[in-house]
Amino acid sequence: MSARELAARWLRFNIVGLVGIGVQLAALALYARVFGWHYLVATALAVETAVLHNFAWHERWTWNDRTAAGGLAGRLWRFHLGNGLVSIAGNVLLMKALAGWLGLPLLPANLLAIAIVSIANFLIGEFWVFRKPA
């Protein structure tokens, strides 16, 4: 893959991610403010909501040239194991630090947490979840 192709994929990944941020923040607000759930539970469920959203769009757009690799169930499993775990664990730990210990408001703290884990998530997607067939 050329640097240009990788840059184009990175751009698509980030566009999906930006929409996913909106999904995650809306879900966080719904779960924490409307349903009254604890912010860490709400964070984990909001991340899972965004993970499912993002997988669907990465499958259709970001890595649509690699959808034959490992079958849909295999890719979804790897996406959850890789991106999902990194996103949930990273976001929950960072939210504990940023919102819990430092007292930042929930939504800005969550935006910062999302930004921190995004690079790892792209690399996991590129080289493991949607890897080129052998």
* Residue 19 domain flag: yes
pLDDT at 83: 86
- SS3 (DSSP) at 80: helix
Q: Is residue 24 part of a domain?
A: yes
Residue pair 95/41 in contact (Cβ under 8 Å)? The answer is no
Residue 134 lies in a domain: no
Q: Which DSSP state fits 38?
A: -
Q: 79: domain range?
A: 3-129
**Which of 68, 66, 61, 56 is CA-nearest to residue 12?**
61
Mean pLDDT, the chain cut into blocks of 10 residues (134 residues total): 92 95 95 96 91 94 83 90 86 94 94 86 92 76
pTM of the model: 0.77
**Element spanning 104, H or E:** none
Task: Tell how far CA 2 is from the center of its chain.
Answer: 25
Number of domains in the chain: 1
First to last CA, the chain: 14
Q: What is the pLDDT of residue 68?
A: 67
Is 30 domain-assigned?
yes
